[in-house]
Amino acid sequence: MQLEGFELRRITMPLVAPFRTSFGVQTGRDVLLVRAVTTDAEGWGECGALADPVYSPEYVDGAEDVMRRFLIPALAGAPRLDASRVATILAPFKGHRMAKCALELALLDAELRAEGRPLARELGAVRDRVPCGVSVGIMDSVPQLLDAVGGYLDQGYVRIKLKIEPGWDVEPVRAVRERFGDDVALQVDANTAYTLADARQLAKLDPFDLLLIEQPLDEEDVLGHAELAQLVRTPICLDESITSAATAAAAIRLGACRVVNIKPGRVGGYLEARRIHDVAAAAGVAVWCGGMLETGVGRAANVALAALPGFTMPGDTSGSDRYYASDITEPFVLDDGHLPVPTGPGLGVETRPDQLKSVTTKTEWVSC
Ligand code: OSB
Ligand code: MG
């Protein structure tokens, strides 16, 4: 199989509702898609980078630039290229993990399609459907939040994650517990909005029996999370801090987290994501699949990953309609709180040409 090049395609998709986190408000997604063209097959990848570097250091224009200038030329010059070698070939370039992930996924999808093999099976999936949680943004008022949570529970979501920040933490959690009861699987995500000095405030969440507190402190403050874990009863889960299997192993050993959110883009690819799954499983640490408000392309791959045996908690793998009125692939539709794991070759979903065309703002061909 010979690589001919990559198409870099930018699309703009409005979100069905604004999504507010401690780092800002998203009203739409400006997504970079990658299509790998080989002599045998084509494959798709999705870059998780947001428009601004406010969740992680990457941003979508930067991802496109680094692919064009550094990453794709390195792949083009590599002998015996295949998806399993992408991370090694790109290792001389620091960071840019979401960009690397998208290129690796596009190549992996092309290879698997050529061989007729589904991604889920390739990764080691053991389930044919995955339970789904939903990430609920910060709202202007508690009644508005209760409406949103009630709507998602009615749709069948099996786990609710509330975004929190200082001033929006104990009150919304208490309100959700009072309205919907103690049986709702509930967790919170602070996206680095607190410091260790807030430990007493965060401990006020303990009585609400949350599954976990996700990334309360700065991404570089792994030791701080280990100290916080001694001061709160709720399990600490890391998201932003975990950038590789090595950082996951270190954070676990340090006692900084009892749970890991695995986002393939954040860690440089689905193959590294699987290694984190393995490291965590060996340490008895639970993992779940996070998200970056993906389109159907990235969602298909996330759902495949979430079907691995160590993904013992529901992920942020929500149905397409939680994000977009119209997806660029066949939509992922919740059935009894679960999404089906695609079974076709590669990602197992197809992009819809008319839909894709209508959201495309720019395409660029980079030949290899
Ligand atoms: O911190 O998990 C996060 C979305 C964008 C950036 C960061 C995060 C999120 C979410 C939503 O919480 C995940 C999703 O539903 O895709
Ligand atoms: Mg998070």
> Is 345 part of any domain?
no
- Cα 5 to averaged position of ligand 1 atoms, centre (Å): 30
Q: Is 318 in the pocket of ligand 1 (CB under 6 A)?
A: yes
Ligand nearest to the CA of 260: 2
- Determine what percent of the chain falls in helix, strand and coil, rounding each to the nearest 5: 35, 25, 40
What whole-number distance in Å separates Cα of residue 51 and Cα of residue 139?
A: 22
Nearest to 45 by CA among 15, 80, 86, 95: 86
Same domain, 106 and 134: no
Mean pLDDT, rounded, for 281-290? 98
Q: Do residues 323 and 356 both lie within one domain?
A: no
Q: Is residue 151 part of a domain?
A: yes
Q: Is 241 in the pocket of ligand 1 (CB under 6 A)?
A: no
204 is catalytic: no
Order of all β-strands in the sheet with 259-262: 133-136, 159-163, 186-189, 213-214, 236-238, 259-262, 286-289
Is position 272 within any domain? yes
**pLDDT score for 16:** 98
Ligand 2 is an ion; its neighbours by CB within 5 Å are 189, 214, 239
Give the position, in ligand 1's atom list, of the atom nearest the Cα of 161: 12
Residue nearest to atom 1 of ligand 1 (CA): 191
Looking at the structure, do residues 139 and 86 belong to the same domain, yes or no? no
110 with 192, same domain: the answer is no
pLDDT for 1 equals 83
Residue 327 CB less than 6 A away from ligand 1: no
Residue 163 appears among annotated catalytic residues = yes
- CA–CA dist 368, 360 (Å, integer): 23
Output the CA torsion 54→57→63→66 (10° steps): 150
Over range 67-95, report the average pLDDT: 97
φ/ψ of residue 276, rounded to 5: -65, -40
The structural domain count of the chain equals: 2
Same domain, 234 and 145: yes
Report whether residue 316 contacts ligand 1, using a CB cutoff of 6 Å.
Answer: yes
Taking the centre of ligand 2 as the mean of its atom positions, its distance from the CA of residue 191, in whole angstroms, is 6
Token pair of 331 as six digits: 């939509």
In the structure, what pLDDT confidence band is assigned to residue 332 with cuts at 50, 70 and 90? very high
What CATH number should be reported for the domain holding residue 322?
3.20.20.120
315 ligand 1 Cβ < 6 A: no
pTM of the model: 0.98
70 shares a domain with 45: yes
With respect to residue 243, please indicate whether it lies within any of the assigned structural domains. Answer: yes
CA atoms 266, 172, 221, 284: torsion sign:
negative
If asked whether residues 158 and 78 sit together in one domain, one would say no
* 358, part of any domain: yes
Domain of 225 in residue numbering reads as: 121-340
- Atom 14 in ligand 1: which residue has the minimum CA distance? 291
Domain-located, residue 36 = yes
- Taking the C-alpha atoms of residue 296 and residue 294, their distance in angstroms, rounded to an integer, is 7
Percent of the chain with pLDDT over 70: 100
Catalytic hit among 94, 100, 161, 263: 263
- Identify the CATH number of the domain in which residue 360 sits: 3.30.390.10
347 domain-assigned = no
Do 205 and 253 lie in one domain? The reply is yes
> Within this chain, do residues 30 and 127 fall inside the same structural domain, yes or no?
no
Residue nearest atom 12 of ligand 1, based on CA coordinates:
135
- Cβ of 240 below 6 Å from ligand 1: no
Neighbours of 284 (CB within 10 A): 9
Does residue 286 contact residue 312 with C-beta atoms inside 8 Å?
yes
What is the distance between the alpha carbons of residues 98 and 96, in angstroms, rounded to a whole number? 6
Side chain identity at 243, as an amino acid letter?
T
Q: Residue 164: which of 188, 129, 135 has the closest Cα?
A: 188
pLDDT per residue as tens digits for the range 151-204:
999 999 999 999 999 999 999 999 999 999 999 999 999 999 999 999 999 999
| pLDDT (tens digit per residue) in 1-21 | 899 999 999 999 999 999 999
Question: Which residues, including other chains, have CB under 8 Å from residue 315's CB and lie 6 or more apart?
Answer: 130, 132, 133, 288, 289, 290, 291, 302, 306
CA 346 to ligand 2 center in whole angstroms:
27
Q: Identify the active-site residue in 94, 100, 161, 163.
A: 163
Instruction: With respect to residue 346, please indicate whether it lies within any of the assigned structural domains.
Output: no
Same-domain pairing of 229 and 314: yes
**Backbone torsion region of residue 325, taken as left when φ is above 0, otherwise alpha when ψ lies between -120 and 50, otherwise beta:** alpha
Query: Is the Cβ atom of 135 under 6 angstroms away from ligand 1?
Result: yes
> 196 is written with which tokens?
């260790």
Same domain assignment for residues 329 and 363: no
Give yes or no: residues 139 and 278 share one domain: yes
What long-range pairs does 143-149 form, CB within 8 A, spacing at least 24? 145/172, 145/175, 145/176, 146/175, 146/176, 146/179, 149/176, 149/179, 149/180
